[in-house]
Structure 1
């Protein structure tokens, strides 16, 4: 028996035979071309075919993984229509009189290298996307088939790496798990796998050898291990663990619709975080009591231009109607830092996490903010809406936001449009907001603590910097005291307080968050039932 270690993307167990996925070696030959005009035309035709294929992948991913996770294929289409990329390909064909396959390959190498050299981890992952897009075009030009992904029986896929398009094309009924030698937990591939409930290990210390084909293996997503040719004792132990997982999921389903209340009678509101109206199915499937964080910026991230008032109104209306009177907290636009949108024209910053972002943009560009607020208040008549503003550091900001809200209401009154009164809250995610939370609590109806940003600002650690992973500690006593101060000041002033950061789904600290007096926890839909079980047993 051999055991290898990787980084787990999904905590589940798979037992089955290995299928080694060897990608075709796309050796690109440089060929002299006399008619460069005809070669450019051939490239244009291949590009059109690639765009059609990517649109098909987008539609498939929407059905299986939700619109937010399918957006990677919209990004791929945008890459394939990027003027800089296209011009670079055409220039190489014209100036060097070479074949399109070679021109695309060289351009992709240049662009991928440019992304890989950037400090930002998210941008480094875009190097893989460029290679994926270019490989698709080269395959079309060369009339090659893509990587095979149809198997006669369910298998554990072993590969050097998997691109997002390869992942979404996998037949989920025939894939038990996948294990890759490279890749990172920040990649779109891992996000897709997690959403599609495929156990996955990345950055695994295993060689991709043909001799592993057909070998019995175990993928333990709880520990991040893969076992090859497991002995009887290990196989028996893991099977027992797997049976426990299945039983746990079955028992969790019985908690749907039940209250989230401790044995001592302390009631906790358990809500879900979502990024798109297409995630509503996961919310209902897991029995959330409401939506504690609707990340409205995804409406902007998925668009190629500012979403209109009508477009936003329709999205908010759908969410409110679907939730049938349950609370829906929509966070106003939160871009900047690691969420960049080209059409906003934001300048590159040395330290974007502390830069021009979130409410700072909204107050500086009230036309964008008012469009969103009009859409929100128009939608308020269709359900139980609460509005939440991120990245507050002063009472003056809250006052200015409330003034703009009143201006929007006055405009709606003049237009004869109906709206309802809504709860108005702010996110507590800066130490400044914590320290003046007693003053801020007098101005709002609720707080929601964003522990991701609050942790990085409190500890002076950039959470996007992998070199600091060992120092990033969301359990730090200072953070616990920040939460305690916020909760106490909220309750003294008669308002409720929730937690919507990743810390809310950390079952190892649920007892502490509840004992500190949190009224609400908002987590990814898949964590709702395990968290409900944990709280009901407290």
Structure 2
């Protein structure tokens, strides 16, 4: 979130024109290191699209979406022009809030400026402010608002006189943390003042922490010594802040509707006190936008209101009782509506129903943004206590019939036969407001903060225990990342802000988690949904501690775990002695849970859809992690066949493990090297123990992601030497730093892009910082010495990028003198495969990254919850690109490896061999089985598999045809 700081302000600026002022703003952003110098053109281009003048003498110049690549980091600069500058739309500007925002963070700045825009004297104060601190205070601190909401109402109180009602209203304000005991004492000494229509008023300023208006009504209207009593208003006064509430109260009395309050419910009372006429028709709409009613959707809502034939007003059901014009952008933004909250529209007169229907339709359509129903929100929506919600998707599904094949996505190879245990997410039931907690949990914001702190501490202890017992390095790494998320100061501050607004620790924490997760999902790229899943996994852990809720306990017998989705910490807790397989309704083959299932050797099938959750505990299941399908309550015949296959697989595993140190060869002697993919040099020794003939892919970014700043030369040399030492002369293929997209580095910020996976990542990003790339290459060459080193560059699109990077290697090799070095590229962009002949003439080898090659070839996000099952590397289009690559390499006498997930796919191994691939690099645990698979085929059968696959039209047709061979 952008924060305005005094050092960001420049006072007493002068400019003869708006163009000159804009140039000064661009220069200020550039001098602060926020943007490139060319960002000036982006500011002018944005003004050409429309004025960025807001009102009250303020403009917020910012660049166009196309200019985000020119932003180094997010920030704000304030430029004051005391004499004013005439803007191109004719308005007078006294302050420019110049923004460099890589995403939509400037919208939050706009939201926080709405209070200034409504201040008639705001422009004068901005022009005359003589200190940076005063300027920031003026902009950043919105004026206090008096409180009036359901929490300040005490309706139907069994009172016998107006004094008891006054005391009940004062007590309600104390319960709402608006006043203290001194205020209540002051009210007890007052004589309520008659307002008319049976309404009375008391007020005090002593002991007020937040100005507010309370109303206490009796069970039924009664007559006292001085007249009818329909209710008593209690005002906590503070300066002039409460004046707006009193004006609305006066409007209520002028309308003659005061008597109607005595039998009204909270919604009706708030509607009347909000300024909503009793004659008005109303309609409600739940806001579904992930980031609430920020500027873009607010603008479309305002446009919809202006298109109606009569005025439309709107208020927030969960907020202060204030109705505003739906045609006012600043008023609408000022509501601060968040996802899941309810907008109440009102209109009066002929055509009101049609106008309200149009407003509701605009909200449901997303106001220009892609939105999802609340039921898709996972835990955030379980936390809400809306008993009228529609049935869940799971409940609407037909049960799966006996002996039914349920198609899904293969995530981790293997076969399992066992009864299922269906683990459904627990319900976290907690009140939204701190005042509604149980007595032992109640308290002010500081009390809620302490509760959250204690829960964070316990969650850290849980994660440390899991990390200590984790099986597999990938598990420990991801859990360590979870532990770091717990210490994220932005999450803490977001939660504390919610607590300061009166939220319970539970509600504030989940609001912070959900907002951060949705930012990952919506603003960046769908593949980042996997990071969002990690955030929610962390959030659930803390929420479980706060609510005292524990996950269901699995049975103490072998079972197949069935769940909607599963977090990495859940995978880490799995007892591999009992869990035979994993089936999820959601997720993709590249999700963290799938990666960890492979690391633990658990067969897994993901993305089976909500029907999977209709299974009952103890239903028998056959789960095929190779083919990506499950058979529910199989027939005796099908089960017998599966039992035979399972026994055969277990026999093959034993034999494969016993022969793991043999060379990778086909039955007729063709050499195919089998290497291991590593995400950490610490696993190199394990790879050798499993029979790996080298490392076919070392993901070097692990080293960069493990440090708060770029690791220096000595650190990198030490890490790489550890791998070379463990390999004992076996070759190491090291992929140079591959970050960007879903793998950002905190010390190497990349401007947000509309599609990060078509932007700055891989070699194209590394070439923007040649000093970092050169240090890494120097470390690799130094660590290798005379041992075999294979350097490959990721995301190369053509020979020009390769030449730039190769030139650095050649220069360093002459200096260092490493003896056995080859330099190649990863083929993961279709253009590289199509241009393989030109690349093959210059590279030493190719390594095909089938995960990204499949994604880019099929234009399917491999993490997409609905489409990931179609992102199959056995698609004939992908296979043709592999064939083109192999043919081009062999024509130049160069070798080709495959380092993507396809290399360990049992159905794909003979196809890849048939296409001529020379090396298969797979996960460490798959090395013995891949070698065994090679020993079971000949070159002739491999060519038949390849020809059969290439002759098909779809990936499913390929798999079906291969099954018949």
TM range (shorter): 0.7 to 0.9
**1:89 is the counterpart of 2:492:** no
The residue number in structure 2 matching 1:105 is: 510
Out of 482, 492, 505, the position equivalent to 1:76 is 482
Tell me how far apart the structure 2 counterparts of residues 381 and 476 of structure 1 sit (CA, whole Å): 41
The residue number in structure 1 matching 2:527 is: 122
The residue number in structure 1 matching 2:672 is: 268
Shift of 1:158: 4.0
Deviations 1:180-212 (A, max 9, x none): 444444432232223212233443554757x94
Shift of 1:392: 2.9
Tell me whether 375-384 or 441-450 shows the greater mean CA deviation: 441-450
**1:12 is the counterpart of 2:414:** yes
The residue number in structure 2 matching 1:415 is: none
- Partner SS for 1:329: strand
1:398–1:44 Cα change, 3 Å: same
1:31–1:158 Cα change, 3 Å: same
Shift of 1:89: 1.0
The residue number in structure 1 matching 2:110 is: none
**1:31 is the counterpart of 2:434:** yes
Shift of 1:375: 1.5
Out of 35, 43, 46, the position equivalent to 2:455 is 46
- Partner SS for 2:903: helix
Tell me whether 151-160 or 329-338 shows the greater mean CA deviation: 151-160
Conserved 8 A contact 1:120-1:464: no
Deviations 1:284-330 (A, max 9, x none): 34322111111112222344432332332222111111111111111
Conserved 8 A contact 1:147-1:166: no
Deviations 1:211-239 (A, max 9, x none): 944555544445522434x5544443332
**1:138 is the counterpart of 2:507:** no
Conserved 8 A contact 1:377-1:420: no
Match runs of 1:399-418 below 5 Å:
399-409=803-813
- Partner SS for 1:146: coil
- Partner SS for 2:767: helix
Tell me how far apart the structure 2 counterparts of residues 425 and 192 of structure 1 sit (CA, whole Å): 29
Tell me whether 43-52 or 320-329 shows the greater mean CA deviation: 43-52
The residue number in structure 1 matching 2:844 is: 445
Conserved 8 A contact 1:118-1:124: no
- After TM superposition, the score normalised by the length of structure 1 is 0.85
Out of 583, 599, 611, the position equivalent to 1:195 is 599
1:167–1:474 Cα change, 3 Å: closer
Shift of 1:484: 4.3
Out of 354, 370, 375, the position equivalent to 2:774 is 370
- Partner SS for 2:501: helix
Match runs of 1:436-475 below 5 Å:
436-457=835-856, 463=862, 474-475=873-874
The residue number in structure 1 matching 2:647 is: 243
- Partner SS for 1:448: strand
1:232–1:45 Cα change, 3 Å: same
Conserved 8 A contact 2:788-2:820: no
Out of 51, 55, 71, the position equivalent to 2:464 is 55
Tell me how far apart the structure 2 counterparts of residues 103 and 187 of structure 1 sit (CA, whole Å): 27
Conserved 8 A contact 1:6-1:201: no
Out of 804, 818, 822, the position equivalent to 1:423 is 822
Shift of 1:242: 1.8
1:204–1:422 Cα change, 3 Å: same
- Partner SS for 2:693: coil
Shift of 1:372: 0.8
Shift of 1:272: 2.0
Shift of 1:368: 0.8
1:318–1:382 Cα change, 3 Å: farther
Tell me whether 132-141 or 486-495 shows the greater mean CA deviation: 486-495
Deviations 1:466-499 (A, max 9, x none): 6766875645666555444444443444433333
**1:531 is the counterpart of 2:940:** no
- Partner SS for 1:300: helix
Shift of 1:90: 0.7
- Partner SS for 1:9: strand
Match runs of 1:484-503 below 5 Å:
484-503=883-902
Conserved 8 A contact 2:861-2:868: no
Deviations 1:436-472 (A, max 9, x none): 5444444333232334444455556655556766875
The residue number in structure 1 matching 2:691 is: 287
Tell me how far apart the structure 2 counterparts of residues 280 and 522 of structure 1 sit (CA, whole Å): 13
Tell me how far apart the structure 1 counterparts of residues 710 and 804 of structure 2 sit (CA, whole Å): 23
- Partner SS for 1:49: helix
Deviations 1:138-172 (A, max 9, x none): 33334x25325464333333444433222211222
Rg comparison, structure with higher value:
2
Out of 312, 319, 326, the position equivalent to 2:730 is 326
Tell me whether 362-371 or 510-519 shows the greater mean CA deviation: 510-519
**1:308 is the counterpart of 2:712:** yes
Number of positions where the alignment pairs a residue of Structure 1 with one of Structure 2: 526
Q: Which has the higher contact order (CA 8 A, sep 6+)?
A: 1
1:431–1:18 Cα change, 3 Å: closer
Tell me how far apart the structure 2 counterparts of residues 339 and 478 of structure 1 sit (CA, whole Å): 28
Shift of 1:47: 1.9
- Partner SS for 2:917: coil
Tell me how far apart the structure 1 counterparts of residues 891 and 426 of structure 2 sit (CA, whole Å): 65
1:125–1:512 Cα change, 3 Å: closer
Tell me how far apart the structure 1 counterparts of residues 593 and 453 of structure 2 sit (CA, whole Å): 28
Match runs of 1:177-196 below 5 Å:
177-196=581-600
Out of 162, 165, 176, the position equivalent to 2:566 is 162
Tell me how far apart the structure 1 counterparts of residues 824 and 648 of structure 2 sit (CA, whole Å): 41
Tell me whether 370-379 or 275-284 shows the greater mean CA deviation: 275-284
Tell me whether 339-348 or 515-524 shows the greater mean CA deviation: 515-524
1:52–1:382 Cα change, 3 Å: farther
1:381–1:141 Cα change, 3 Å: same
Tell me how far apart the structure 1 counterparts of residues 795 and 586 of structure 2 sit (CA, whole Å): 36
Tell me whether 502-511 or 255-264 shows the greater mean CA deviation: 502-511
The residue number in structure 2 matching 1:359 is: 763
Tell me whether 323-332 or 7-16 shows the greater mean CA deviation: 7-16
Out of 380, 402, 415, the position equivalent to 1:2 is 402
Conserved 8 A contact 2:860-2:871: yes
Shift of 1:9: 3.1
- Partner SS for 2:434: coil
Shift of 1:515: 4.4
Tell me how far apart the structure 2 counterparts of residues 535 and 206 of structure 1 sit (CA, whole Å): 37
The residue number in structure 2 matching 1:257 is: 661
